[in-house]
Amino acid sequence: MFKSVAAFELRYQLKSPAFWVTFAIFLLLTFAATASDNVQIGSGGNVWKNSPYAIAQTLMVMTVFSVFILTAFVANVVVRDDETGFGPIIHSTRLSRFDYLFGRFTGAFLAGCLLFLSAPLGMIVGAAMPWLDPEVLGPFNLWHYVYVYLLLCVPTLFVTGAGFFAIATATRSMMWTYVGVIVFLVLYLVATGFLARPEFINTVALVDPFGLGAYDQATRYWTAAERNTQIPAFAGYILWNRALWVGVALALLGLAWAIYSRAATGSRMAAAKAPDQTDDDAPAVAARAAATPAVQAKPSGDAGWSQLWALTRFDMAAAVRSPAFIVLLGIGFVNSLASLWYADERYGNTIHPVTRIMIEALQGAFTIIPLIIAIYYAGELVWRDRDRRMHEIIDSTPAPDWAFVVPKILSISIVLFSTLAASVFAAIVVQLLKGYLDLEVGKYLAWYVAADDRERGAVRGARDLHADARVAQVLRLDADAAVRGRPDNLRSARLRAQSLPVRGQPRHTALRHERTG
Amino acid sequence: MLRIDNLTHVYPNGTRALDAVTLEVPRGMFGLLGPNGAGKSSLMRCIATLQIPTQGAIRFGDLDVLASPDVLRRTLGYLPQDFGVYPRVTALDMLDHLAVLKGFANGKERRETVDALLHQVNLWEVRKKALAGFSGGMRQRFGIAQALLGQPQLIIVDEPTAGLDPEERNRFLNLLAEIGENVVVILSTHIVEDVSDLCPSMAIIASGRIVKIGAPLQLIASMNGRVWRKTIAKDELGAHQRDHEVIATRLFGGRTVIHVLADANPGDGFEPMQGGLEDVYFSTLAGTRRQAA
C-alpha cells in the first residue's frame, strides 16, 4: 500500500501547474546564471562556468530557493485533506498512519527531487550555448553534476522537506508552515551573518543545513585550477554535515509520525463544525418576524467614503488579526533591536545613536519584514474569497469594481505604514535607553517611513499589487487556488485587467527579495 | 448488529452534540431523522471512527469500535455530508486510489471492482473527467461508489440527498436500495421522504437525544385518528396555535393549512386526515420543544 500511496502522490504533484512553473523558473535561473554574465547565483569567482565549484555553488544556493516549493509539496500532503474536505473519506479507510504519512511524504519528496533536476539541467544546457567564450568553460563532465545533485542537494531537500512536513503535520495549516519557513530563513540568515568569522568555520561546516558551509570549508584554500577540475571527496565535514542532517530529518519525520492523530482531526475543525444550538422558541421568532417591516430600507447604492473606510478596515483586520503578522513583526523586532543596540559602535568606537545611524540600522535589519508582509497579504487579500469559496457571493453583490481594488491597496499601505512606525518606536526606545534625547522624529518620518512607505506601499501598491499577488501565488504555490482562479467570471477578469501594471514592466519582486535577503 | 450505548460527545466549545444516545441498529436500511444541528453528523462521525466521543461505547457485532477502529475501517463505507475533491484528479483515478486504500492489492481485481462500480453509479461515461467539474448529483454518486468499495458490512451515508434535484434524488435512493439487506446501512437525513421511501426502521434525533425509535409504518399507525386538518387564513394562525396542538403548518395554494394533534375531534371546522411520517416527525419535534420550554 505504501508504494501505491507514494505513486499516487507523485502523479498528483506532477499534475500540478506549480510543479511545471517552478521547473521552468529553476531551469531558466540556472540557465541564465550559466549562459549570461548578468545573472549570478552563488559567489561565482574566477572559475569556469561549468567547473565543479560553480556547479556546487549554484545548485546549493538553488536548494535555499527550493525551500518554498518543497514546503508547498510536503505541506500539501497533510493539509490537503482538511482543506478540500475529502479527509473523512480517506480517514475511514484502512490506510495506516505510517502509509498515509510516509507514503505521501515519499511521493511529494520524490516530486521535489524531480523538480530540482531542472537546476542542473539548466546549467548543462546553459554551458552548451554557442555564444559563450570558450575561455570560461571547461570540458563537460556529467559526474560533477551527479555528485552535487545526489550528495549535496538531495540530502538538503530531504532535510527541509522533512522539517516543514513535521511543522505542517503539527499545525495542519499552510499559513503556519510558511511562517515556519520564514522564521527558519531569517534565523538562517542571522546565524550565517553572526558566524561569518574565521574562528567559526568548522562549526558552520557542520551545522549549515544547506551544506554550503561544509563545501566552503573543504575548498577554502583551493586554487582556481583546483576549483575548476576537482570535487572534494565525500568525507570529512561534508560527510559529517550530510550525515548529521539526514539524521535530524529522520528524527523530524519520527516526530511528525508521533504528533499526527487521525481520529478527531483537530479539535479546531470539530469545534468549527459543531452545530450552533440556539433553539429559538417559535412564538418569539414569529413575534420578531411580525415586528420586522415588510419592506426593508433600500440600499442607496452610491458607494461613499464610509463604505470605502469600512471595506478598508475589513481588509486591514485580515492582516492585523492573523498570527502570522504578529510573528513576522516579532522576528523583525528581535532582528532590528539587535542591530539598533549595536548601531552606535563603529570600528571599536562608540558614537552617538543619532537618528541617521538608527535609520541606517533599521534599513539594514527591518525593511525585509514589511516586504514579506506586503507579498504575503497582497496574495492573501486577492485570493481570500476564492480560497474560502466565498467568491460567488461576493462577486454577485452590486459593489462597484473599485471596491475590490482600492480598499486592498489602502489597507496594505496602512498596515505597512504601521509596521514601519512601530519599528521607529523601537529605535526611539533604544535611543532613550542610551540616554540620547535629540530624537528628530521629523527625520524618521521624512527619510525612513515616508521614503519607504512611498517605495513599498501607496504608490507601488497600486502598480505592483497584482505583481506581488502573482509572486505571492508562486511563492505560496497555492496551485489549487490558481486553478480555481480561471478567469471564468467577468469580475475577476476585470479585476485583473485593472490591477495590471500601469507603466512599464512590473519589477521582478521575487528576485529583488532574494537579493535583499 | 450495531449497538450504541450511552454515547455522549461534548465539543471543546461546550456544545453538547450528543447526549447519552443509546441505539440498536439492525441489518438493513436504518433512517436517522433529525433537524439541522440535532447531532446527526456528530453521531455519524463517531460511528465512522473519525471522532472519539467524550464517553460511551459503540459495538459492531462483537467488535468494540472505539478500542479497535482499524478493524471497523476494513468493513466500513462512509459518505460524509459534505466533501470536497482534489483538483485535477479524474473520477477513475480517485476511485482506483481509494480502492487501494481500502485494501485491494490485486491490480486486476481492483480494476474490475472500480469499473463495475462506475457502471453501477452511471459514471462510466465521465470516468476520465475531473471530479472537480462534476455536478452535485454526480459527485454524490461518486461518493456512494467509493462507500460501496470492498463490500462493506457497515455503510454510513450522511445527508446524501440534500441539494439534489428530484430526479438525481430518485437515482440516488435507487442506488441505496440496491445495497442489500445483509449489511447495516445508516442513512442520516433531515428529509422525511428519504426515510419513508427506504427504511424499514428508523429513529428521530433532536438536540443530541434519540426521541423516538420504531418502524415508520408502526409509527404512522400510532397516529391513526389523531391528526386533524384545517385550512385557515394567515392571521388566524396565532389563535389556533394558542388553542390547539399545532404540529405542522404549510401553505397550499396561498392558503395556510394546519395539522393539529388531538385524541378527539376538536370541532371548529377541523376534518380528520391520515397522518404521514411527516406528522410523526413534526409532532415528535413539537413534543421535544415543549418539554425543553
pLDDT beyond 50 at B41 = yes
CB B116 within 8 A of CB B151: no
Least confident of A352-366, B64-78, B83-97, B172-186: A352-366
Residue A396, chain B, CB below 8 Å: the answer is no
- Beta-carbon contacts of A266 under 8 Å, excluding residues fewer than 6 positions away, are A82, A172
The pLDDT, as a whole number, for residue A59 is 93
The pLDDT, as a whole number, for residue B241 is 86
Which residues from chain B sit within 8 angstroms of residue A92, using beta carbons? 48-50, 73, 76, 78
pLDDT beyond 80 at A390 = no
Strand ranges of the sheet holding B227-232, from the earlier edge strand across to the other edge = B246-252, B255-261, B227-232, B271-272
For chain B positions 11-30, those within 8 Å of chain A (CB to CB) are 11-13, 15-17
Chain centre to alpha carbon of residue B43: 11
Give this complex's ipTM.
0.71
Give dist(CA B62, CA A356) in Å, integer. Answer: 78
Reference B102, options B143, B67, B149, B68; nearest CA is B149
Band of pLDDT at residue A486, cut at 50, 70 and 90 = very low
Instruction: Set out the domains of chain B in order of their start, with CATH numbers.
Output: 2-90+146-220 (3.40.50.300), 222-292 (no CATH)
Band of pLDDT at residue A389, cut at 50, 70 and 90 = low
CB contact under 8 Å between A281 and B12, yes or no, is no
E strands, A332-452, where? 345-346, 349-350
CB contact under 8 Å between A12 and B49, yes or no, is no
CB A337 within 8 A of CB A430: yes
The percentage of chain B sitting over the pLDDT mark of 70, rounded to a whole number, equals: 100
The pLDDT, as a whole number, for residue A304 is 63
Strands B227-232 and B255-261: antiparallel
Band of pLDDT at residue A288, cut at 50, 70 and 90 = low
pLDDT beyond 70 at A277 = no
The percentage of chain B sitting over the pLDDT mark of 90, rounded to a whole number, equals: 41
Q: How would you classify residue A129: left for phi > 0, otherwise alpha for psi between -120 and 50, otherwise beta?
A: beta
The pLDDT, as a whole number, for residue A482 is 38
Give dist(CA B101, CA A93) in Å, integer. Answer: 6
Average pLDDT over every residue of A335-352: 73
The pLDDT, as a whole number, for residue B8 is 95
Cα atoms in the Cβ-side hemisphere of radius 13 Å centred on B207 = 14
Average pLDDT over every residue of A302-308: 64
- Beta-carbon contacts of A274 under 8 Å, excluding residues fewer than 6 positions away, are B11, B13, B15, B17, B42
Band of pLDDT at residue A298, cut at 50, 70 and 90 = low
The pLDDT, as a whole number, for residue A412 is 81
Which residues from chain A sit within 8 angstroms of residue B241, using beta carbons? 283
Candidate from B12, B103, B293 with C-beta closest to A267: B12
Residue A83, chain B, CB below 8 Å: the answer is yes
pLDDT tens readout for residues A209-235: 999 999 989 998 888 888 888 999 999
Residue A289, chain B, CB below 8 Å: the answer is no
pLDDT tens readout for residues A62-71: 998 888 889 8
Q: How far is B105 from chain A (nearest CA, A)?
A: 7
Strands B184-189 and B154-158: parallel
For residues B221 and A313, the model is more confident at: B221
* Best A5, A16, A82, A93 residue to mutate vs chain B (most B CBs within 10 Å): A93
Residue A109, chain B, CB below 8 Å: the answer is no
The pLDDT, as a whole number, for residue A299 is 55
For residues A21 and A164, the model is more confident at: A164
Q: Which three cell numbers stand for residue B14?
A: 461546550
CB contact under 8 Å between B50 and A282, yes or no, is no
Average pLDDT over every residue of B250-271: 87
Mean pLDDT, all residues of chain A: 75
Residue B217, chain A, CB below 8 Å: the answer is no
Sign of the dihedral through C-alpha A247, A249, A254, A259: positive
Reference A35, options A153, A149, A117, A124; nearest CA is A124
The pLDDT, as a whole number, for residue A394 is 64
Give dist(CA B57, CA B52) in Å, integer. Answer: 10
pLDDT beyond 60 at B168 = yes
pLDDT beyond 90 at B209 = yes
Average pLDDT over every residue of A188-212: 85
The pLDDT, as a whole number, for residue A150 is 95
pLDDT beyond 70 at B24 = yes
For chain B positions 52-71, those within 8 Å of chain A (CB to CB) are 52, 69-70
For residues B202 and A305, the model is more confident at: B202
Band of pLDDT at residue B200, cut at 50, 70 and 90 = very high
Give dist(CA A308, CA A314) in Å, integer. Answer: 10
Q: Which helix (H) or strand (E) holds A81?
A: helix A52-84
Least confident of A73-77, A274-278, B3-7: A274-278
Dihedral over alpha carbons B86, B88, B92, B94 (to 10 degrees): -20
Average pLDDT over every residue of A405-424: 81
CB A279 within 8 A of CB B291: no
For chain B positions 155-194, those within 8 Å of chain A (CB to CB) are none
pLDDT beyond 50 at A472 = no
Candidate from B38, B146, B207 with C-beta closest to A89: B146
CB B47 within 8 A of CB B77: no
Residue A91, chain B, CB below 8 Å: the answer is yes
